[in-house]
Amino acid sequence: MATRVVLGSTLIDGTGSAPVADAAVVIDGERIAAAGPRAAVSWPSGAEVIDATGLTILPGLIDTHDHLASHGYALSRRWGLEEPASTAHLRTGAVLRQTLAAGYTTIRDAGGLDAGFKLAVDEGLASGPRLVTALAIISPTGGIGDSVSPSGHECCVAAGPNLPRSVANGPDAVREVVRTMVRAGADVIKCATTGGASSRPGHGPRDAAFNPDEMRALVEESHALGRRVMCHALGGPGLRVAIEAGVDSIEHGCYLDDEPELIRMMAERGIALVPTLTVYVYHRQSPAPHVKARAADLYPHHIASVRRALAAGVRIVAGTDAGGHAHPPNALEIQYLVEAGLTPMQALQAATGWAAECVGRAGEIGTATEGALADLILVEGDPLRDVILLQRPERIRLVLKGGAVAVDRGVKP
Ligand SMILES: [Zn+2]
């Protein structure tokens, strides 16, 4: 692939640096060779020029908490009873394609997506973002990884080798399940130490799952195998157990404001917060009374938690927790982060540079800087003045993934 140079756009590079007007971004193969003000960057005379005058160039966006293979909260959906697995897989394929076309070049899947989708995308069988996948949510019996109906029946669909059973009790069993996930292709380990808004009655946001011995074993085994740990934890003792055990990110963290000491610990230990505000907007309208009540109760705490964590220096990272509530624009989360108190620049970092740190790929993705993969989007308009425009695919004029054109809406490189 010849060297290419994107000229004339405003560069927002994902590091938090001020925007650069009339920028040049030089792409050599799958990587960025240089990026900065046009006058400070050089490129070979034969380079192919992409005229991006009037557009804004950003790193491809990252959602660090999605469920690409989930298509509804109804039990029959969650258990995969409504259609053949092949139909569900093709439905997931359509979501992958749409997500990339909306400018999201990396997705961390927090459960439900098996490693075969990553193989298919890497092989070019399917169009989609780079995938970092957890496979399934590890919890003890009764936790959110335990599929039980309101009647108390266990899930009638057998776990397969690609999405292994994720219930474990006791440190030894926890280690075995972590190893099983890694064997099945997990890039990251997802666990849960509390209930949530949508979990069964009796296991709510402040109800604990896993004891300190089990969580220490989970984190130690995951890290020994080179995997980060993302932990669903909303509040109460389970939130403390997760942070003390040294997980790498807290997912949701709605009641962190109850315990300022935990926020300080997160900042000191570099534990990121992925608040997933988007899913709770949905839950506040839930048809299930217990879910709606939980979402209403946690809302003011959630906003306060995000603000206090940000002020304490905790990395705030974008994730929608989409899937159960279908697949709305992933960039909704950027809007909600601004509404919660991040500056537009911070909210963009939450979905680019900070998100890359959270998934352990800083310098590779999430920043439009020298040496990074050329995952780039060209956007019509200024997202710092109007972050909502990122929710409109027609405003995402060009998507490059590893230097290759994934979507071109009239830019013609
Ligand atoms: Zn989730």
Q: Among candidates 159, 178, 181, 158, which has minimal Cα distance to 170? A: 178
Distance 27 CA to ligand 1 centre (A): 35
- 191 CA to centre of ligand 1 in angstroms: 10
**190 token code pair:** 């997802």
Q: Ligand 1 centre and the CA of 375: distance in Å?
A: 25
Axis-axis angle for helices 260-269, 236-245 (nearest 10): 20
Q: Point out which residues pair with 308 in neighbouring strands.
A: none
- 208 alpha carbon – ligand 1 mean position (Å): 17
User: How far does residue 205's CA lie from ligand 1's centre (Å)?
Assistant: 13
**Antiparallel, parallel or unpaired: β 376-380 and 396-401:** antiparallel
Measure 405 CA to ligand 1 centroid, in angstroms: 30
Compute, in angstroms, the gap from residue 164 CA to the centroid of ligand 1. Answer: 17
Ligand 1 centroid–CA 10 distance in Å is: 34
How do residues 292-313 score in pLDDT, each as one tens digit? Answer: 999 999 999 999 999 999 999 9
For residue 122, the CA-to-ligand 1 centroid distance in Å is: 24
What's 206's DSSP letter? T
Confidence category of residue 174, pLDDT binned at 50, 70, 90: very high
Ligand 1 center–CA 59 separation, angstroms? 24
**Mean of all residue pLDDT scores within the chain:** 96
- pLDDT over 90 percentage in the chain: 94
Q: What tens digit of pLDDT does each residue of 87-133 get?
A: 999 999 999 999 999 999 999 999 999 999 999 999 999 999 999 99
pTM of the complete model: 0.98
Evaluated on CA atoms 309, 18, 106, 174, the torsion sign reads negative
- Quote the pLDDT of residue 240: 98
Query: 319 C-alpha vs ligand 1 centroid, how far in Å?
Result: 9
